[in-house]
Amino acid sequence: MQDNIPRGRETDLLVSGQGSRDPPVPDLARALEQKLALLHEVDHRVKNNLQLITSLLKLQARRSCDPAVKLALTGAQQRVSAVATVHRRLFRGEEVERFDVAAFVEDLVDDVIGGAGRGDIQVRLNLEPVDLPATQAAPLALLISELLVNAVRHAFPNGRSGLISISVGRDADGLRVEIADNGVGMGTPAAAPGFGGTIVTLLSGQLGARRETIDADPGVRTVIRLPVNGRP
């Protein structure tokens, strides 16, 4: 990967910035320009590395003959892809510190439903744009991805068709995300939660989110409520 940051400028900046007769404004402008270039370079590398990691996991999943290994690698790839989807959106506009949950869900649904080859599952989206601090983006993205992938995998077995509805909006608590399906329902709870379930529990805790999963008969409905900007 080529480094296109003009390295020579760093020294120029230090020398001319202190005690020289140069007017200070061009230096500030140059420092700002340099900071922006560095930020873009880091962003570029993060995006490329995420691409590299997902391609690596996918290649290994393709190579493995054991179905359990293949499933585990595909699961890991899917989770890294959810984080990658967040980064694809960051830095596209001028906004770098906020993250639009609704736009993310649109991308995610496209990738998960399309990637699963389940054209028989319909998706209904009810999305209001809601901005979150970018620092919360990855855990929330993973949480939503887990719930969606879980619904796609388990709600409609044996070629059963159905509907998944996702809504994103604000309520008195802050952010409200609802994921519902009209599939086979929860059934008998497993003896121990799977890895997906563990991720959901851990990330809900990390985000300070309240999570409610009910047997909606038919299907399952999960609602996540997340305080936004320090509000309850």
Partner 1 sequence: MASCDPLNILIVEDEVLLAAELGYLIGEVGCIEVGHAMTSQEAVALARKLRPDLALVDVHLGDGPTGIDVARCIARDCGGVALFMTANVRRLPDDFAGACGVIGKPYSEHGVKMALVYLDACLRDGRAPGLPPAGLQLAPLWAELWGVHDMPRSA
Among 10, 32, 44, 125, binds partner 1 (CB under 8 A): 44
What does the per-residue mask of binding to partner 1 show for 117-136, with x meaning CB under 8 A? --------------------
Q: Among residues 132, 187, 127, which one has the least CA distance to residue 155? A: 187
Q: Among residues 182, 170, 104, which one has the least CA distance to residue 142? A: 104
User: In DSSP terms, which residues pair with 213 in a beta bridge?
Assistant: 222
The whole-angstrom separation of Cα 138 and Cα 143 is: 9
Does residue 153 belong to the site contacting partner 1 (CB under 8 A)? no
Contact 118, 159 (CB under 8 A): no
Is the CB of 60 or the CB of 167 nearer to partner 1? 60
Element (H, E) at 132: strand 131-133
Among 13, 16, 27, 47, binds partner 1 (CB under 8 A): 47
User: In DSSP terms, which residues pair with 174 in a beta bridge?
Assistant: 171
Phi, psi (degrees; rounded to nearest 5) at 95: -75, 120
- Considering only residues 52-111, where is the footprint of partner 1 by CB under 8 A? 52, 54-56, 58-59, 62, 81, 84-85, 87-88, 91-92, 106-107, 110-111
Is the CB of 3 or the CB of 171 nearer to partner 1? 3
Applying CB under 8 A, the residues found at the interface with partner 1 are: 1-2, 4, 40, 43-45, 47-48, 50-52, 54-56, 58-59, 62, 81, 84-85, 87-88, 91-92, 106-107, 110-111, 114-115
